[in-house]
Amino acid sequence: MSLFLAIFIIFHLLHSTKGQTDDDFFKICPPKKCGDEGPLIRFPFRLDSQPRSCHGVGYELSCSGNTTLLNLPWSGNFTVTAIDYLHHIITIKGRDSWSKCPLQGFLSLNFTSSVFRPLIVSLVSCPRNSSWIIPDKDEVVGPIACLSDDPNQSIYAASGYLSVDVLPDICEKYSKVDVLPGIERYFDCTFACAIDKLMATREVKLGYASDCYTCEEKGDFCGWNQTTDTVVCVFFSGTSVGAILILFSILFVIIYITKRSEKEKELRLKIEAFLAGYNTTKLTRYTLTDLKKITKKEVGGNDAEIAKKLVIVALWCVQCNPADRPCMSRVINMLEGDLRSLSMPPNPFA
């Protein structure tokens, strides 16, 4: 089996490992980006330019130039800065008008009819000169000056899940983002940490419901099977580090075996030629070291060029967007062509 034929078979197998029905979803709904720096948009989200079958209701995003936008039905459009598919968190940027008091801007959002779940925030009002000892500094932040116009009152932000039993009699818990179920805390940040980040960056993290944690944890992609009307987990080579490692391992094993076979064949030919040239002379006993010196072969830059070509072609074949992957005939042309004619594929993690 030739080296290029073996590589052809491997790439064909790689393209054929996914279930046909499930793979159809990613052909119709490939992952998208609004710009090189924007978040990857995939199930359960979709761009408004993609078919409605690509997402669940309420998960539609849009592009404004290179900017990704999320529309909250009663609050308008917001820039999306990140999507954490493993922990089901989408991060949006608050408006410039929030600069003086980002938390006040956040409290003005209306999540009616939205699939997204905000951090549950309650406001606690206490006399400014009160001696309230905050019971849990992970659950209460403040006082927050921009929330109060009354010089005699201090306003604190507290977790919506904080029990009123810990409040002094002189304090009142009076306002909250009333959307349940909401987020009590983030997976990597306490309530106080989240409020501090909101005040510093105007970024708001919103949770959403998903059945994809196990799938995403394995490094695979979630999709939707319209036939069974269920969420499916698909091995997606465009982002699977394991797939790339497996592919490279197989390729380099083939290269090693092929090169070793070629060298062994050449060594036998050299030994036969050597013996044929000295068949009339007295036999001489040679050590293995002597034979290696006699048959020593200089290796040029061809090995490095083949390896580089294989890496470039492999990266093209595991692109995140199936439409960017070359067909089999193109793969063969790339492998047989000149290295200088190959361009590097885009980086899906850039």
Which tokens go with 54? 């690509």
Provide mean pLDDT across the span 110-137. Answer: 80
CA distance 108 to 169: 28
CA distance 139 to 118: 16
CA distance 257 to 259: 6
CB 55 within 8 A of CB 43: yes
Select the more confidently predicted residue: 256 or 279.
256
Percent of the chain with pLDDT over 90: 9
Sequence-ordered list of residues with C-beta below 8 angstroms from that of 66, at least 6 positions apart, any chain: 34, 35, 36, 37, 38
Could you tell me if residue 290 is inside a domain?
yes
Which uninterrupted H or E stretch holds 82?
Answer: strand 76-84
Least confident of 31-35, 152-156, 157-161, 320-324: 320-324
Q: In the sheet where 67-72 sits, what is the strand order?
A: 46-47, 60-64, 67-72, 76-84, 89-93, 203-208, 116-117
Residue from 99, 109, 82, 81 nearest 202 by CA: 99
Number of domains the chain contains: 1
Confidence of residue 20 (pLDDT cuts 50, 70, 90): very low
Give the position of tokens 């899940």. 161
Cis peptide before 168 (omega within 30 of 0): no
Select the more confidently predicted residue: 211 or 239.
211
Could you tell me if residue 80 is inside a domain?
no
Could you tell me if residue 49 is inside a domain?
no
Cis peptide before 326 (omega within 30 of 0): no
What is the per-residue pLDDT for 173?
79
CA distance 251 to 120: 52
State the residue range of the domain holding 327.
Answer: 241-341
- Count Cα atoms within 13 angstroms, Cβ side, for 164: 10
φ, ψ dihedrals at 75, nearest 5° = -130, -10
Provide mean pLDDT across the span 322-333. Answer: 77
Could you tell me if residue 6 is inside a domain?
no
What is the per-residue pLDDT for 260?
66
CA distances from 201 to 85, 196, 329 (A): 21, 9, 50
Could you tell me if residue 164 is inside a domain?
no
Give tens-digit pLDDT for 65-85: 999 999 988 888 999 999 999
Helices and strands (H, E) in the chain, number of each type: 9, 13
165 three-class SS: helix
Cα 154 off chain centre by: 42
Which tokens go with 106? 């956040």
CA distance 339 to 341: 5
Chain length of the chain: 350
> CA quadruple 70, 75, 81, 87: dihedral positive or negative?
negative
Could you tell me if residue 312 is inside a domain?
yes
Select the more confidently predicted residue: 294 or 128.
128
Could you tell me if residue 250 is inside a domain?
yes
Could you tell me if residue 198 is inside a domain?
no
pTM over 0.85: no
What is the per-residue pLDDT for 23?
61
φ, ψ dihedrals at 224, nearest 5° = -135, 125
